[in-house]
Amino acid sequence: MTYNKPIPPQGQHTKPFWDGAREGRLMLPRCTNCNRVHWYPRLICPTCHSMDIEWIEASGEGHIHTYAVQHRAFGGWGEEVPYVTAYIDLKEGDRMMTVLRGVDPMRPEDIKIGARVRVEFEAASEDTHIPFWRLAED
Amino acid sequence: MAAKLKNAAAIVGAAESNEIGYPEERGPKVTSLQHHIEAIRNVSDQTGIPISDIDGIFSAGWSSQLAEYLGLKPHYIDTTSVGGCSFQMHVHHALAAIHAGIIDVALVSHGQAGWSYRGAGGRRGNTAPGEIDPGIEMSMAYGAFGAPSSYAHAMVRHMHNFGTTAEDFAHISVVTRQWATLNPRALMYSTETNPFGGPITVQDVMEARLIAWPLTLYHCCLVTDHGGAVIVARPEIARSLRTNPVWIAGAGESMGHANMLEMEDFTATSASRSSATAYEMAGMGPGDMEMAMIYDSFTITAAITAEMLGLAPRGKGYTLWKEGHAAPGGRLPINTNGGGLSFNHSGMYGMQLLVEAYRQLSGTAEDGVNGVEGKQTDARTCVVNGTGGTLSTTGTLVLTADG
Ligand SMILES: [Zn+2]
């Protein structure tokens, strides 16, 4: 089935992320001066303002920071309501947005902030594989 | 007046991005954003002023994104974009802000890939085809539609941190609707003005249609038309008019982020900083405020903002409504027009806050607007707080009645 939801255009400065995603690897930018990972990707470290940024392969592990259940959506997402959106605290630092998998949107109280999640990738197109996060098995 | 600004500030450095002219003939195309960032890095190196010392940010349409990108929380954000003369105006505005003691270090920045992306549009000029803010690039795949889908995440985190419940926040809708039933211009004044108008209960709020759990429809503001305007004048003029002046005792602004992806604490906004500036200027504190006009795009917005303004302890903002303090007849009336929740909300509601604050403090709320009666309180002081974006940016005013 063709992917029917919004596919991000790939920015000029985010190529290593999308290249990694196509190989199933989660790539994150890290400042070589202060060693902090930041998200979203930047040309300059938002903490120490060094422009020496490298890309590292992340563990693909994280925790739920917060979430919500979307009951109103449009386009391809409209066919999937309700679904759970979430922000994920990355093991390496900073935070990503996602649609959370492996949770029951009709039982939102059962979803736990702090629960462990793992990244997986979905091929939205040949070029663009999108990371999503799934509740980890205990 | 303007002579007071003479020599009030100086330009202390000026630099450019690394590859100007026709960069693509030497290598890859350079984006407008890259031009900004390189020039900023270079002027910081030239002057020895760390980027983190910048407390005022000026650009033609880029300011909140640049501040977020640089990890800054500036106290002055000016994104005036009126064409090629914008930067001269930015220097003028920076001069006034420095003279006023609001900021010490102003960054005026420009980046435009006028050749590399010639012919390309974009609201900030010459952005690469398909290129969007990287924060949007990294969140647009994830099924968030409009403000409610984002704000719900803040409410869930507030519930987690402080043990609050959706019922707690529902009281904000109920009390704000009480104010609307006193304001004939409010959309939800009565069932005459709207089929869903008139008083509502906590149960009504809880049983309304789910938009983004835990937000039901009645936790969300209206979407309406609205226009408003205010005039600000200096004291000699203000005292000479037939209208009652309302004095601007304090003002402050700040921002946390542009994209919710960058929100550090989902239960806090920059209103803690913008209000601290405003209170300090006014020589007053939250205990001196006799009413409040608080942006209520959602119940959670109002609750968090009440906490940030110091009107309630952390985690307890909702108690102002639940215990009736914010209600008609309460000790701290809040959103006396019926709020964005029940009066009107045009998308950018901040003007509606100003109009109502002026009406209350000028003693003209009963006179109403366009001949329609309102509800006059006896408040002499009012804190007004606007929130923009997704709990992103805040502006706070401390207003006082005349005399
Ligand atoms: Zn760094």
pLDDT, tens digit only, all 403 positions of chain B: 677 899 999 999 999 999 888 887 877 788 899 999 999 999 999 999 999 999 999 999 999 999 999 999 999 999 999 988 999 999 999 999 999 999 999 999 999 888 888 877 665 666 776 678 999 999 999 999 989 999 999 999 999 999 999 999 999 999 999 999 999 889 999 999 999 999 999 999 999 999 999 999 999 999 999 898 999 999 999 999 999 999 999 999 999 999 999 999 999 999 999 999 999 999 999 999 999 999 999 999 999 999 999 999 999 999 999 999 999 999 999 999 999 999 999 999 999 999 999 999 999 888 766 556 678 999 999 999 999 999 999 999 999 999 8
Q: Report the range of poorest mean pLDDT among A18-27, A110-119, B234-243, B260-269.
A: B234-243
The partner residues of B56 in beta bridges, in order of sequence, read B76, B106
What is the reported pLDDT for B371? 58
Say how far residue B185 (Cα) sits from the centre of its chain. Answer: 24
Dihedral angle sign, alpha carbons of residues B121, B127, B133, B138: positive
Cα-based torsion angle of the residue sequence B36, B41, B43, B47 in order, rounded to the nearest 10 degrees: 160
Q: How far is CA A7 from the centre of its chain?
A: 13
What is the predicted pLDDT for the residue at B128? 72
Q: Which CATH number is correct for B205-401, 3.30.750.24, 3.10.580.10, 3.40.1010.10, 3.40.47.10?
A: 3.40.47.10
What gap in Å lies between CA B230 and CA B88, rounded to an integer?
Answer: 26
Return the CATH number of the domain spanning residue range B2-6+13-132.
Answer: 3.40.47.10
Question: What is the rounded average pLDDT for all residues in chain A?
Answer: 97
| Mean pLDDT confidence for A74-100 | 98
Closest residue by Cα to residue B304 from B145, B211, B172, B148: B172
User: What is the phi/psi pair of residue B289, to 5°?
Assistant: -85, 130
Contacts of B149 in chain A (CB under 8 A): 68, 70, 72-73, 85
Q: How far apart are CA B160 and CA B170, in angstroms?
A: 17
Q: What element of type H or E holds B158?
A: helix B146-162
Q: Which residue of B has its CA nearest to A69?
A: B213
Burial of B261 (0-12, 13-18, 19+ CB in 10 A): buried
Residue A134 burial class via C-beta count within 10 angstroms: exposed 0-12, middle 13-18, buried 19 and up: middle
A47/B142 Cβ within 8 A: no
pTM of the predicted structure, to 2 decimals:
0.94
Round to whole Å and give the CA distance between B299 and B173: 7
Residue B1 CB coordination number (10 Å) = 5
How far apart (Å, rounded) are the C-alpha atoms in residues B180 and B89? 41
Reported for A71-76, long-range contacts at CB under 8 A and 24+ positions apart, including other chains, are A71/B209, A71/B210, A71/B211, A71/B212, A71/B213, A72/B145, A72/B148, A72/B149, A72/B211, A72/B212, A73/B143, A73/B145, A73/B149, A74/B145, A75/A4, A75/A5, A75/A6, A76/A3, A76/A4, A76/A5, A76/A6
Pairwise pLDDT comparison (A11 vs A59), residue with the higher score = A59
User: Does pLDDT of A32 surpass 70?
Assistant: yes
Confidence check: pLDDT of A113 > 90: yes
Extract the tokens encoding B123.
């609201």
Find chain B residues with C-beta within 8 A of A67's C-beta: 153, 156
In this predicted structure, what is the pLDDT of residue A76? 97
Segments of B256-335 assigned E as strands = 291-294
Interhelix angle B146-162/B299-308, nearest 10 degrees = 50
Q: For position B325, what pLDDT does the model report? A: 97
Residue B342's pLDDT is what? 98
> Between B22 and A103, where is the model more confident?
A103
Task: Write the ipTM.
Answer: 0.95
A41 CA from centroid of ligand 1 (Å): 13
pLDDT of residue B330: 95
**Residue A47 in contact with partner chain B when CB distance is under 8 A:** yes
In angstroms, the Cα distances linking A46 to A58, B41, B67, B288 are: 19, 12, 9, 38
Alpha carbons B3 and B195: distance in angstroms, whole number: 57
Give me the residue spans of the domains in chain A.
Answer: 15-135
Which of B130, B155, B213 lies nearest to residue A71, judging by beta carbons?
B213
Scan for tokens 């968090």, then name that residue: B304
Q: What is the CA radius of gyration of chain A?
A: 16
Q: Three-class SS of residue B328?
A: coil
Q: What is the pLDDT of residue A18?
A: 97
Supply the pLDDT for residue B372: 63
Dist CA B288 CA B266 (whole Å)? 28
| Chain B hits for A11, Cβ within 8 Å | 128, 131-132, 134, 137
Q: Do the chains contact at B149 and A49, CB–CB below 8 Å? A: no
Q: What is the pLDDT of residue B370?
A: 59
Picking from A9, A83, A98, the nearest residue to B137 by CB comes out as A9
Ligand 1 centre distance from Cα of residue A43 (Å): 11
Chain B residue closest to A45 (CA)? B70
Closest CB to A47 among B37, B71, B135: B71
What chain B residue is nearest to A107 in terms of C-alpha separation?
Answer: B213
pLDDT at B276: 98
Q: What is the structure's pLDDT at B123? A: 59
Cβ–Cβ below 8 Å for A87 and B266: yes
Residues of A in contact with B140 (CB under 8 A): 6, 8
The widest CA-to-CA distance across chain A, in whole angstroms, is: 45
A76 φ, ψ (degrees, to nearest 5): -60, -40
* Chain A (86-115) residues lying within 8 Å, Cβ to Cβ, of chain B: 86-87, 95-99, 105, 108, 113
Q: Which CATH number fits domain A15-135: 2.40.50.840, 2.30.30.60, 2.30.40.10, 1.20.140.10?
A: 2.40.50.840
How far apart are the two ends of chain B, measured CA to CA in Å? 25
